[in-house]
Structure 1
């Protein structure tokens, strides 16, 4: 594996679903002969924790507004995981190179996360949940496919991840009006859920 292509690819995947990214890399390293996957990702504790967190995100990510709440919580987590994975992939690079590679992974993960969370706000303007389920399932498949490809053909995976990121950024630009409307609805949903707790505490 080459460090820089993987920094971009894992960054993109981490911004979409960080736990799936860790889980897939770990499984590929442990069972599929992807020898360049860092050993720390293939250990049982890492796989178990990543699997449990992926299961939680798998459900939360398919429920309208809950997905946006989860995205808000993940604003720090996803870029951090993207940076850590990129640093692990840098191998024997110098300290400066490792820092640059980790920064690349974190920045790409932040951009990818921004695209995902913004487009989800736009999708939440739809009155039915099928769109959320379809979008989330598509993201899961994309992350699994790109990371599986990255383990053995990092340059091809880099091109695909780059194209998906650019298309996502274009989508955010085109859907800005719906994103803003979705954000307003998400705020109203969050305030409605917090209202009973506030009222009971006042009593």
Structure 2
């Protein structure tokens, strides 16, 4: 049971990094610093004051930059690399004392969860920008940040609920990525002058 809870916590935190790479790390850092959770070496470095300051600065920059059209697209491209790395780190930190699961398995699962969520996020944002002229970007970004924070807390304190939300987000991410690929293919066909089949 402890193994399942640790894995649920890990995947919840990894999924949250797909929505915001820095908030889950900062949340773990602050909670560890406050003594609400315990981190073993080498993950206890997350609670170091310098690490916490760096994460806070990165979280603020990401929070502001993600609200600005065009800048958010650059952040999303960077996030395709940063989010899986952050997801692996925070997932391994959550599963640090679980011996039943190999750390490589946890890391791979976390990378997939974070990358999938980040890819869905990066896929939907251009469509939202095009549909609303960028006016809905800030609102969507606020929602993503709030969800990342809440999911991080749930992953730590109520991991089973976080895991259920993670499964729902995985399904949504799959549908969004699939829809984005379909729209891209249709646009490519239309550009090439090929009539779209009914």
TM range (shorter): 0.7 to 0.9
How well do the aligned residues superpose, as a CA RMSD in angstroms?
A: 2.5
Residue in 2 aligned with 1:24? 27
* Deviation larger for 168-177 or 107-116: 168-177
Alignment match of 2:174 (pick from 169, 188, 191)? 169
Residue in 1 aligned with 2:103? 98
Q: 5+ residue gaps in structure 1?
A: 183-203
- Cα distance in 1 for partners of 2:27, 2:186 equals 35
Q: Secondary structure at the match of 1:33?
A: coil
Task: Give 1:94 deviation, angstroms.
Answer: 4.5
Alignment match of 1:107 (pick from 109, 112, 118)? 112
> Aligned pair count?
182
Task: Give 1:24 deviation, angstroms.
Answer: 1.3
> Post-superposition, which runs of at least 4 consecutive aligned residues in structure 1 deviate over 6 A?
179-182
- Cα distance in 1 for partners of 2:138, 2:35 equals 29
Judging changes above 3 Å, is the alpha-carbon distance between structure 1 residues 181 and 77 closer, same or farther for their aligned structure 2 residues?
Answer: farther
* Residue 12 (1) aligns with residue 15 (2): yes
- Cα distance in 1 for partners of 2:75, 2:179 equals 24
Q: 5+ residue gaps in structure 2?
A: 188-198
- Cα distance in 1 for partners of 2:148, 2:106 equals 20
Q: Secondary structure at the match of 1:124?
A: helix
Higher share in helix? 1
Task: Give 1:167 deviation, angstroms.
Answer: 1.8
The TM-score, its normalising length taken from structure 2, stands at: 0.81
Q: Secondary structure at the match of 1:18?
A: coil
